[in-house]
Amino acid sequence: MTNDTVSWRGSFYLTAAFLLIWQITYMVIGDLALRSPAQTFTFAFELLKKPSFWPHLIETGKAFAAALVVAVLLGLAIGISLGLKKLAGDVFEPMLVALYSIPKVTLYPILLLTFGLGISAKIAFGALHGFIPVSLFTINAVRNVRPIFLKTGRVLKLGRMAMVRRIVIPAALPEIFSGLRIGFSLTMIGTVLGEMFASQKGLGYLLMNAIGLHNVDIIMAITLMLIIFAAGMSSILLMIDRRLHRRV
Amino acid sequence: MSQHNKTDIHVSLRGVTKIFRGADGGASVHALGPIDLDLKRGEFFAVVGPSGCGKSTLLEVLAGLSEVTEGDVRFEGKPIHGEVMDGVGVVFQEDACFPWMTVFDNIAFGLRQTQLTSSEIDKRVEQALAMMGLTPFAKSYPAQLSGGMRQRVCIARTLVLQPRLILLDEPFGALDQQTRLLMGEELLRLWRETGATIFLITHALDEAAMLADRIGVMSARPGRLLDIVETGWGADRDSRIVETEDFGKITAHLWQWLRGESMKAIARSGAAA
Amino acid sequence: MTFTGLLRLLVIGGLIGLIEILCRVGVIDNFTMPPPSRIALDLWRIVVTGKFNAAIVKTLSNAATAFVFAVTVGIAAGVMIHAAKPLRHALDPFFATYYAIPVLAFYPLLIILFGLGDAPKIIIAFMLGVVAVIVNTLNGLDRVPRVLLKTARMARLSRFATAIKITLPSATPYVLTGIKFAVAYALIGIIGSEFVMSTNGVGFEIAFAYNNFDNATMYPLILLVMIVSISINMVLVWWEKRLLSRRGLR
pLDDT in tens, C125-181: 999 999 999 999 998 888 888 888 888 888 888 888 888 888 888 888 888 889 988
Within this chain, do residues A17 and A44 fall inside the same structural domain, yes or no? no
Within this chain, do residues A30 and A143 fall inside the same structural domain, yes or no? no
pLDDT for the residue numbered A3 = 46
Q: State the DSSP code for B194.
A: H
pLDDT for the residue numbered B250 = 92
* Among the partner residues A155, A162, A248, nearest to B84 by beta-carbon distance: A155
Asked if pLDDT for residue B171 goes beyond 70, the answer is yes
**What is the number of domains present in chain A?**
2
* Among the partner residues A98, A211, A223, nearest to C233 by beta-carbon distance: A98
Residue B142 or B238, more confident = B142
| Exposure b/e, C153-170, CB count within 10 A at least 16 = b | eeeebeeeebbeebbeeb
Over chain A, what is the mean pLDDT? Answer: 88
Q: Which residues of B touch A167 (CB under 8 A)?
A: 98
Q: What is the pLDDT of residues C82-109, one digit of tens each?
A: 888 888 888 887 888 888 888 887 887 8
* Residue C100 φ/ψ, nearest 5 degrees: -80, -20
Whether residue A88 lies within 8 A of chain C, CB to CB, comes out as: no
Q: Which residues of A touch C218 (CB under 8 A)?
A: 109
- A vs B: CB pairs below 8 A: 45
Tell me if C89 sits within 8 A of A7, measured CB to CB: yes
Closest Cα partner for A67 from A187, A168, A162? A187
* Among the partner residues B96, B141, B161, nearest to A152 by beta-carbon distance: B96
- CA distance linking residue A73 with residue A88, whole number of Å: 19
Q: Which residues of C touch A189 (CB under 8 A)?
A: 102, 104
Partner-chain contact C105 A223, CB within 8 Å: yes
> Domain limits of chain C?
52-246
Per-residue pLDDT, averaged over A154-161, amounts to: 90
Residue of A nearest to B155 (CA): A152
Q: Tell me the residue length of chain A.
A: 248
Asked if pLDDT for residue B270 goes beyond 70, the answer is no
Asked if pLDDT for residue A2 goes beyond 50, the answer is no
Q: What angle do CA B161, B166, B172 make, to 5 degrees?
A: 110
For domain C52-246, say whether CATH 3.40.605.10 is its number.
no
Of A87-91, B189-193, C95-99, C130-134, the poorest mean pLDDT is in C95-99
Q: What angle do CA B51, B55, B57 make, to 5 degrees?
A: 115
Asked if pLDDT for residue C11 goes beyond 90, the answer is yes
pLDDT for the residue numbered A210 = 86
Within this chain, do residues A66 and A11 fall inside the same structural domain, yes or no? no
Within this chain, do residues A89 and A182 fall inside the same structural domain, yes or no? yes
- CA distance linking residue A206 with residue A192, whole number of Å: 10
Q: How sure is the predictor about A1, in pLDDT bands with cuts at 50, 70 and 90?
A: very low
Partner-chain contact B99 A158, CB within 8 Å: no
Please enumerate in sequence order all residues whose Cβ is within 8 A of that of A184, keeping only pairs 6 or more positions apart, or say none: A68, A130, A233, A234, A237, C100
Asked if pLDDT for residue A180 goes beyond 50, the answer is yes
Domain that holds residue A7: 1-34
- CA distance linking residue C169 with residue C244, whole number of Å: 12
Partner-chain contact A14 C90, CB within 8 Å: yes
Within this chain, do residues A95 and A20 fall inside the same structural domain, yes or no? no
pLDDT for the residue numbered B85 = 87
Within this chain, do residues A110 and A47 fall inside the same structural domain, yes or no? yes
Q: How sure is the predictor about B21, in pLDDT bands with cuts at 50, 70 and 90?
A: confident
Q: State the DSSP code for B8.
A: -
- CA distance linking residue C107 with residue A207, whole number of Å: 11
* Among the partner residues C97, C102, C192, nearest to A238 by beta-carbon distance: C97
B5: three-class secondary structure by DSSP: coil
Render A191-238 in DSSP notation, one character per residue: HHHHHTSS-SSSHHHHHHHHHHHT-HHHHHHHHHHHHHHHHHHHHHHH
Within this chain, do residues A18 and A58 fall inside the same structural domain, yes or no? no
**Amino acid making up residue C224:** L
Q: What is the pLDDT of residues A105-144, one digit of tens each?
A: 889 888 988 888 888 999 999 999 999 999 999 999 999 9
Of A88-102, B56-70, B255-269, the poorest mean pLDDT is in B255-269
* Residue B45 φ/ψ, nearest 5 degrees: -115, 130
pLDDT for the residue numbered A7 = 62
Within this chain, do residues A149 and A119 fall inside the same structural domain, yes or no? yes
In order of start, what are the domains of chain B with their CATH numbers?
9-87+163-268 (3.40.50.300)
Q: How sure is the predictor about B135, in pLDDT bands with cuts at 50, 70 and 90?
A: very high
Q: State the DSSP code for B198.
A: E
Within this chain, do residues A14 and A65 fall inside the same structural domain, yes or no? no
Alpha carbon B106 to its chain's center: 20
Within this chain, do residues A19 and A96 fall inside the same structural domain, yes or no? no
Asked if pLDDT for residue B182 goes beyond 90, the answer is no
pLDDT for the residue numbered B2 = 37
Within this chain, do residues A14 and A74 fall inside the same structural domain, yes or no? no
Within this chain, do residues A4 and A53 fall inside the same structural domain, yes or no? no
**Amino acid making up residue C131:** V
Cα distances (angstroms) measured from residue A65 to each of A17, A123, A203, C224: 33, 9, 14, 32
Report the Cα–Cα distance between both ends of chain B, in Å, rounded. Answer: 42
